[in-house]
């Protein structure tokens, strides 16, 4: 670390030698690197190992050149260490890559989040498509509502496709660089595409796949009564299963909003309103399921009555089959037979509808007034989620009991989340209250 030299002076008539130590660059030499050994004796400072110093310096220079060559080769092969890239470097880059912290992209993420909430709000509307036609006592599909629902879902999903395209051109922070200070951005288009394809692409693809629209459009083109039952059952399973990826895609979007903007909701009131909105959304979903299950129980009653009637065919119970042989004989007695055996009025009806009794007695399953039908089902869902289903009187039907149990558990969880998160957000508004 030090360069040694000596000079002589005459003190008290005698010649004395003094040693001078000068600091050198520690990066170029050190006792351990150069093998330099120095010591003091009578004659001054004696050092050894100067020849080894030259050899060590040339050896280190060769190692440095070799490492730079390996780095250049690794960059050409697409792996290894690359130069750190930060947001200010991305602005000067010629690649059309978006900065994840860009203000415009953050605004787009908020709009995409709203579209996800709207998407999961539109899906339960498919459960309102089946409706009973009072004039002919048959189960059909509301065509006007089907067209409106499929159009809304297609528009919302098409808007979300823009986010999927942007994901292929949006830089991401390298996970290995998040530990120390600022994260380094990955701007290689191939790596960005691979990162998105391996993580979130499949979830987004399954979420926007237009399977419910295909089912509805197929029915609208066929106009055949035999497709009513198939359409009703297919919509229930498809919409319910597709809810999984449509809810899962909200999680990475909210995480990205928190990571880029620092907060999810800019104000405490916005955070409280968000959790209240989730509670209302759950009430909307529960109400739609309750409506569909009420129709299912009514259809079960009709099929039991039809199986005990000689002139009845189960296909007669679905609208569009009035041209089948023997339908005229059934049409003459259908109203009397079905209403007398599948009514929900009275204290002891012939068929136990359980928690769906009010849906049949109110007439919403046969109403074409969507606003009235929707508000009534929304109120039923909100009321029973808030009370944890305490006022429900179920029958012995297993599906009904399972639905009631799931409703009570979901109400308990959602109510706890709502109260807890709203309390946290309100404390942020007034921390001294």
Phi and psi at residue 48, to the nearest 5°: -130, 160
- Which DSSP category does 135 fall into? T
Residues 132 and 212 in one domain: yes
pLDDT > 70 fraction of the chain, expressed in percent and rounded: 69
Residues 283 and 408 in one domain: yes
Residues 247 and 357 in one domain: no
* pLDDT tens string 336-382: 888 888 888 877 788 888 899 999 888 899 888 899 999 999 999 99
* 101-106 mean pLDDT: 80
Neighbours of 135 (CB within 10 A): 8
pLDDT mean across residues, the chain:
77
The residue with tokens 């701007």 is: 187
The pLDDT assigned to 18 comes to: 44
Query: How far is residue 364's CA from residue 360's CA, in Å, rounded to a whole number?
Result: 7
Residues 334 and 425 in one domain: yes
The pLDDT assigned to 322 comes to: 78
Residues 246 and 369 in one domain: no
Q: How far is CA 144 from the centre of its chain?
A: 30
- 318 part of a folded domain: yes
Which residues are bridge partners to 14 per DSSP?
11
Phi and psi at residue 19, to the nearest 5°: -95, 135
More confident site: 190 or 421: 190
Structure tokens belonging to residue 261: 């903007």
Residues 45 and 145 in one domain: no
- Which DSSP category does 184 fall into? P
More confident site: 54 or 329: 329
* pLDDT tens string 313-339: 888 888 888 788 888 888 888 888 888
The total domain count for the chain is 3
SS3 49: coil
Phi and psi at residue 45, to the nearest 5°: -100, 120
Domain interval for residue 107: 101-172+193-264
- Residue 179: band (very low, low, confident or very high) from pLDDT cuts 50, 70, 90: low
* 402-417 mean pLDDT: 90
* pLDDT tens string 112-143: 888 889 999 999 999 999 999 877 788 889 99
Neighbours of 189 (CB within 10 A): 14
Residues 356 and 418 in one domain: yes
- Residue 229: band (very low, low, confident or very high) from pLDDT cuts 50, 70, 90: confident
- 329 part of a folded domain: yes
Structure tokens belonging to residue 227: 């497709």
Residues 371 and 313 in one domain: yes
Asked if residue 210 has pLDDT above 70, the reply is yes
Asked if residue 3 has pLDDT above 60, the reply is no
The pLDDT assigned to 52 comes to: 47
* pLDDT tens string 10-47: 444 445 444 444 444 444 344 444 444 454 444 444 45
* 406-418 mean pLDDT: 89
Supply the angle between the helices 398-429 and 268-307 in degrees, to the nearest 10. 170
Residues 274 and 356 in one domain: yes
SS3 20: strand
Residues 331 and 258 in one domain: no
The residue out of 237, 264, 291 marking a domain boundary is: 264
More confident site: 148 or 23: 148
Asked if residue 197 has pLDDT above 80, the reply is yes
């Amino acid at each position: 670390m030090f360069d040694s030299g000596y000079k002589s002076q005459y003190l008290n008539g005698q010649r004395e030698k003094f040693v001078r130590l000068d600091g050198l660059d520690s990066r170029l030499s050190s006792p351990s690197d150069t093998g330099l050994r120095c010591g003091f004796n009578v004659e001054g400072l004696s050092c050894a190992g100067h020849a080894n110093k030259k050899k060590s310096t040339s050896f280190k220079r060769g190692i440095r050149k070799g490492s730079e060559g390996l780095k250049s080769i690794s960059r050409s092969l697409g792996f290894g260490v690359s130069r750190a890239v930060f947001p200010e470097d991305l602005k000067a880059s010629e690649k059309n890559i978006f900065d994840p912290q860009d203000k415009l992209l953050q605004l787009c993420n908020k709009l995409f989040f709203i579209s996800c909430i709207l998407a999961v709000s539109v899906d339960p509307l498919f459960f309102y498509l089946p409706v009973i036609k009072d004039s002919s006592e048959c189960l059909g599909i509301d065509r006007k509502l089907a067209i409106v629902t499929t159009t809304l879902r297609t528009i919302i999903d098409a808007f979300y496709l823009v986010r999927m395209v942007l994901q292929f051109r949006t830089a991401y922070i390298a996970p290995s660089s998040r530990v120390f200070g600022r994260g380094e951005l990955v701007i290689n288009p191939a790596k960005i595409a691979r990162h998105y394809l391996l993580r979130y692409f499949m979830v987004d693809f399954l979420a926007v796949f237009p399977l419910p629209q295909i089912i509805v459009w197929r029915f609208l083109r066929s106009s055949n009564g035999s497709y009513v039952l198939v359409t009703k059952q297919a919509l229930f399973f498809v919409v319910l299963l597709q809810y999984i990826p449509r809810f899962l895609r909200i999680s990475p979007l909210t995480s990205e909003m928190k990571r880029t903007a620092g907060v999810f909701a800019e104000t405490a009131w916005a955070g409280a309103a968000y959790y209240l909105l989730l509670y209302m959304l759950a009430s909307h979903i529960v109400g739609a399921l309750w409506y569909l299950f009420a129709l299912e129980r009514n259809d079960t009653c009709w099929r039991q009555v039809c199986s005990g009637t000689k002139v009845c065919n189960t296909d007669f119970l679905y609208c569009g089959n009035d041209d089948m042989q023997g339908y005229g004989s059934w049409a003459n007695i259908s109203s009397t037979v079905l209403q007398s055996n599948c009514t929900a009025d009275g204290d002891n009806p012939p068929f136990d509808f359980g928690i769906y009794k009010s849906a049949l007695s109110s007439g919403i399953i046969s109403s074409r007034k969507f606003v009235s039908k929707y508000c009534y089902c929304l109120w039923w869902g909100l009321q029973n989620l808030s009370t944890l289903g305490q006022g429900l009187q179920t029958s012995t039907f297993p599906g009904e009991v399972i639905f009631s149990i799931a409703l009570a558990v979901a109400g308990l969880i959602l109510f706890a989340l709502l109260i807890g998160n709203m309390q946290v957000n309100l404390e942020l508004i007034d921390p001294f209250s």
